[in-house]
Structure 1
Amino acid sequence: MKAITARGILSLVAATALAVSLSACVSESTDTGNAGGNTEKSDLACGLANGEAASGAPIKVGAIATASGGVDFSSSPIAAQAYFDCVNDNGGINGRPIEYSYQDDALDPTKTAQLAAGYAADDSVVALVGDATFIGCDVANAEYAKAGLYSITGVGVPQACFNSSNIAPINAGPRNSAISILQYLQSEGLADRVFQVGLNTQGNGDWVAAGIDEYAAANGIDIVGSELSDPTESNWLPLLQKIKDANPTAVIIADPGPITAAILAAAEQQDMRGDITWSCTASCYDAQFGQQIGSYWDGFIANSELELVDADGTDNELWKSVMDAYAPSDAPRDTFSQAGFLSAKIFTETLLGMSGDISRDTVSQAMLGISNYSSDLLCAPWYYGEADAHNANHATREAHIQDGVYVELAGCENVNDPSLDEIVQREQSEGLVG
């Protein structure tokens, strides 16, 4: 099947109702108004944690996310907005509020480029935080690089998000996520015969599939089938027949949560669980996913790029409380939301650590200097640094569904992707992690 370009995705996705019919897996709303739960805002320790509303000159921060067009990754900027709102209720940045907004690229790379150019041209925008574009990192990075503008991206998806000079994602990325699952399956003796499923998209689905193939070849794992489907596919019977014919011991799905849910629903109708270990990348790690796919899929495995959503820990508890107090009640509580929250927290603490004027130039230098940032949400410290590639998060966890809830299956493990070698060498030689 011919690979679909980013522009080709737009025309295809516009014709599908899949994301709408399965919208319970992700939030369709881009409303970031305060509509949260019962958490008392006065109890939250955000930023200066002084309980005083910031009222000075605003500090403008933006983001670009794919929130429509068939894919919704807005949980990252929604969480970033929630944290910034909490910061602004607690003194802001030494009295100055953070004026945050994100814009939807609607799965259109042309629009991504236009939005990126708009941010780049607006000198009052000091940085980007919590971005989550499904397709546009390459065109966005080109605009940012010309303008000296940098992004602490919440969720990177295509390869370009990780091979960019001015974009540094919090998450590990779908390739790392898929390889991490394969490593786990191998360690448990479940990777004798593996079938991989993903999106037929350039720089994303093919990049992930190549990672699985490369790891499998280096470790003697038999990949018995690989199917990269159109993002608008809705008939999963041909795929399921291919899986049956291949007789795998495990299936790794690297699709967005709604698509994976549709595949699983069709597989359940065919009663295909059997002796196959079914799994998915972090796109399926959502607190509600187990209830959505039903009890038939107890034991289903997903990778978690950050801490489990129900875990203890200072930052994880703060994320949950901030979401309850400041985010819409239906906003996803997933790994991408955690990433957006953490990107905002890292940015806030970076600004609070600055002295002197706050401008694009000074903020950019401060961001590039971030190193050894530790959080219970992460398996290892996060950093920025000057480089043409950024993938600081390359250690993840695995979880599986029990009684409709994800529980930890395996703790933090480094992802053994050979493409990370240069990044790991650089972070060690430059002291970016402790």
Structure 2
Amino acid sequence: MKHARVTAALAAAVLAGASAACSTDGGGEATTGPIKVGSINGVTGLFQTPEVPKAVQAVFDEVNEAGGVNGRELELISVDDAMNPQRSTEAALDLIQTEGVVALVGSSSAVDCGLNRGTYSKHEIVSIPAVGVDPACFTSPNIAPVNPGPFGLLTAMLYYASEELGHDRVCIDYTVLPGSGGGVDAAIQKWSELTGKELAHQELSVGEGDPTKYLVADKNAGCQAVLYNGPVGPYFAQAKTQGMEDVDFVVGANSYTDANAQAIPPGLNVYAGTEWQPYTDATLPGNERWSKIIEENEIQRTAFSQGAVMSADIFVEVLRTIEGDITRSSVTEAFKSMEPIEYPMVGTPWVFGPGEAHNPVKGSRFVKAGGGAWQVLPEGFIVPGEQN
């Protein structure tokens, strides 16, 4: 199996060796030979998603083995920015100016969107991240992730707690990361506008220390449901100690792992919101293809790898609609003018389109912890404002 390249030096060496054999469109982009596609990922550092470029590469390998796109192979150039701002900025410029990539596909960096949104607009190149993390991923003209994002998911989680679980006193114990406070505030406001409800209690600076004071405050506020996004083990161990078996806890996609399901004490009601079909059930619509890709290539099974396969699939589907040369400009035009794509792994159709902001995927499915595993709940995707 081919592997994504992760160093600019290696990329430059391959480019130099191949340049004599490739014609270009006059702007440094090859119109014969491989179709170069960039990706900026967190393989190392604080936010690690090493499975994402592997999954994108696996989809590209599948396409290449079937003859490529218009006879041209797809070449993924993945760069690890290690969540380092300078490395992320340099990676974007190198991919665009030196490598001549036609688009960015399957990025999963926590800092890419905020740092490079202006670069993508300036160079008129589109990015289809596998994992959109910060608000800039969803408010930029040239970026459209394939996930609802943490803020769209937060609105869905609040909506699930109040409208599906039927609670009037909904609370939040959250850690707000630098630069994401505006997104959290907007997500809460969106929920309030949809439901006419306000939070009964909120704490937006929950750290990784002893969670007792936050849980005691929740009890004193009469919280019926509590949304939480921090480390699972200590928090829920203390919730059990506090006797909070009558409270419905809702955690985000970052907590939706097999290990966390095993760490939640019996007797607590803990739900998790997912951005794609729950990955723990390979039989759900859309998951069959993802599971096949993951198993055949021995890639870690995570929700983020779902986004990787989806972003690669969508990119290939749009690429096949292009008549004539496949270049950066033709790829950008194809995404800006495309028709919506129904992709069963998510709750709403995905489309890029011509707008100044893009957050095409809405809604979430929910799972519940029980017996050391996550049980998929039957409601299907919850799209705030479309239920009840």
Maintained 8 Å contact 1:86/1:326? no
What is the aligned counterpart of 1:261 among 219, 232, 243? Answer: 232
Distance 1:185 1:104 in 2: 37
Structure 1 residues not aligned, in runs of 5+: 1-30, 34-55, 418-434
Maintained 8 Å contact 1:78/1:327? no
Other structure's SS at 1:296 match: coil
Q: Indicate yes or no: 2:142 matched with 1:166.
A: yes
Structure with bigger RCO (C-alpha 8 Å, 6+ apart): 1
Q: 1:296 to 1:314 in 2, by over 3 A?
A: closer
Structure 2 residues not aligned, in runs of 5+: 6-31
Q: Single out whichever of 311-320 and 96-105 deviates more from structure 2.
A: 311-320
Maintained 8 Å contact 1:124/1:359? no
Distance 1:374 1:401 in 2: 29
TM-score, normalisation: structure 2 = 0.82
Q: Percent of pairs identical after alignment? A: 30
Give the aligned residue type for 1:89.
E
Q: Single out whichever of 103-112 and 261-270 deviates more from structure 2.
A: 261-270
**TM superposition shift of 1:222:** 4.2
Partner of 1:411: 380
Other structure's SS at 1:340 match: helix
Give the aligned residue type for 2:105.
V
Distance 1:297 1:324 in 2: 34
Q: 1:323 to 1:218 in 2, by over 3 A?
A: closer
Distance 1:226 1:135 in 2: 26
Distance 2:285 2:385 in 1: 29
Distance 2:77 2:375 in 1: 32
Distance 1:342 1:297 in 2: 36
What is the aligned counterpart of 1:361 among 329, 348, 360? Answer: 329
Q: Single out whichever of 140-149 and 60-69 deviates more from structure 2.
A: 60-69
Partner of 2:254: 283
What is the aligned counterpart of 1:301 among 271, 289, 293? Answer: 271
Distance 1:188 1:143 in 2: 42
Give the aligned residue type for 1:277.
D
Distance 2:268 2:379 in 1: 16
Distance 2:46 2:101 in 1: 29
Other structure's SS at 2:377 match: strand
Q: 1:415 to 1:236 in 2, by over 3 A?
A: same
Partner of 2:8: none
Q: Indicate yes or no: 2:80 matched with 1:104.
A: yes
Question: For 1:7-46, what per-residue CA distance to the aligned partner results, in whole angstroms no more than 9, with x for missing partners?
Answer: xxxxxxxxxxxxxxxxxxxxxxxx879xxxxxxxxxxxxx
Distance 2:273 2:165 in 1: 17
Q: 1:91 to 1:114 in 2, by over 3 A?
A: same
What is the aligned counterpart of 1:378 among 346, 356, 361? Answer: 346
Backbone CA RMSD of aligned residues: 2.7
Q: Single out whichever of 236-245 and 136-145 deviates more from structure 2.
A: 236-245
Q: 1:32 to 1:114 in 2, by over 3 A?
A: closer
Q: Indicate yes or no: 2:287 matched with 1:322.
A: no
What is the aligned counterpart of 1:223 among 199, 204, 208? Answer: 199
Question: For 1:30-89, what per-residue CA distance to the aligned partner results, in whole angstroms no more than 9, with x for missing partners?
Answer: x879xxxxxxxxxxxxxxxxxxxxxx8222111112333322244433322221222223
Partner of 2:217: 242
Q: 1:159 to 1:318 in 2, by over 3 A?
A: same
Maintained 8 Å contact 1:77/1:102? yes
Q: 1:323 to 1:105 in 2, by over 3 A?
A: same
Distance 2:384 2:203 in 1: 23
Partner of 2:314: 346
Give the aligned residue type for 1:207.
G
What is the aligned counterpart of 1:153 among 111, 114, 129? Answer: 129
Distance 2:49 2:235 in 1: 21
Other structure's SS at 1:118 match: helix
Distance 1:72 1:297 in 2: 32
**TM superposition shift of 1:203:** 3.7
Give the aligned residue type for 1:368.
K
Maintained 8 Å contact 1:401/1:407? no
**TM superposition shift of 1:99:** 1.3
Maintained 8 Å contact 2:245/2:267? no
Question: For 1:123-159, what per-residue CA distance to the aligned partner results, in whole angstroms no more than 9, with x for missing partners?
Answer: 5211100112223312211111111111111111211
Distance 1:205 1:90 in 2: 45
Give the aligned residue type for 1:200.
V
